[in-house]
Amino acid sequence: MCLILLGLISCIGKKSELIELNFEKDLMPEGIAIDGSTKKLYLNSLKNNKIVSSSLDGSNPAIFLKTNKHNYLAGFGMTIKGDTLYALGNSLTEDKNKSILLLLQLSSGDLIDSYSINDSNFHYLNDLAISSNNEIFITDSESNKIYKIQRPNKTIEIYLDSEEISNSNGITISDDDEYLYLASNNGISIVETISKKIINKPKEGYSGIDGIKYHKNNLYGIVNGWRDKSQNGLFKFELNKIGTEILESKKIVEFTENFKIPTTFDIFDGNIYFVINTQIDNFDENTNEILDLKKLESYTMMKIKAE
């Protein structure tokens, strides 16, 4: 394992660091969030319906939310605003479809609020972004819809419904709340938040994106959806000065055979953090079982400077 880590560092350069995480090997993490005030890392679990935490250096691993507590489901997108962790969860099989959003107080772990969708339609609430006005925007990867919650209201409303944003996954919002950026099957769509208008035409090739973040007038995204793995990686998407158009893309990290389905990431103090080996390709969502227990390995997180 040490030789693999050293090899990865030498390939990527001095701007990166690899951090070994000391969680159980069957975690199957999807969502990640960093609390900048305490410098703590939070990961959720697809398999075990829980949330774990540690220091940013991987030390002091702990359980933050126990399995199924507050009716939490398989973990998906997470983000932190203030002292609140926002955590999405879904049941993984279509015949038992449920979706939930938990708002958890970071300092205590207490439940602040919860929102759920449980109807005859198949939902897959995948990722979320929060405005400065406490508007929560949520993607649904099984539809053409984006949902919105205006805190402190309890209503989950349809914010946008359009084939142009079909099966959206990652979502992020500009610092001034003027634009939402959606990673869908069609590429990256830019939505004017007030008018709800899609103001750009997604560029061909900008698809296969999982997590996406807005940072200093640029977008960063993990691309993991291509069968041709040479097309996958961590990318920077340069925006124009007003954030209404993508000018070009640049691959920051090449995903080699040692990268096993990286999914989402977080940005803290100018650095990007993501788990390089989630190993979710070794997980059967329908049976909630690991396909090959012998292939499980400890999780490794990459820290790399946002260019």
pLDDT digit string, tens, across residues 133-154: 999 999 999 899 999 999 999 9
What's this model's pTM, rounded to 2 decimal places? 0.94
Quickly tell me which residue has 């793995």 as its tokens: 229
Distance of CA 252 to the CA centre of its chain: 18
Pair of tokens at residue 188: 């990256």
Question: Contact at 8 Å (CB) between 223 and 232?
Answer: yes
* φ and ψ at residue 209, rounded to 5 degrees: -90, 135
Q: What's the CA gap between 279 and 251, in Å, rounded?
A: 22
Helix locations, the chain, DSSP H: 2-12
pLDDT at 232: 92
Beta bridge partners of 19: 301
For range 75-82, the mean pLDDT:
97
pLDDT tens by residue, 3-46? 444 445 444 555 899 999 999 999 999 999 999 999 999 999 99
279-293: b (≥16 Cβ within 10 Å) or e: bbebbeeeeeebeee
What local confidence, expressed as pLDDT, does residue 251 receive? 95
**Res 2 pLDDT > 70:** no
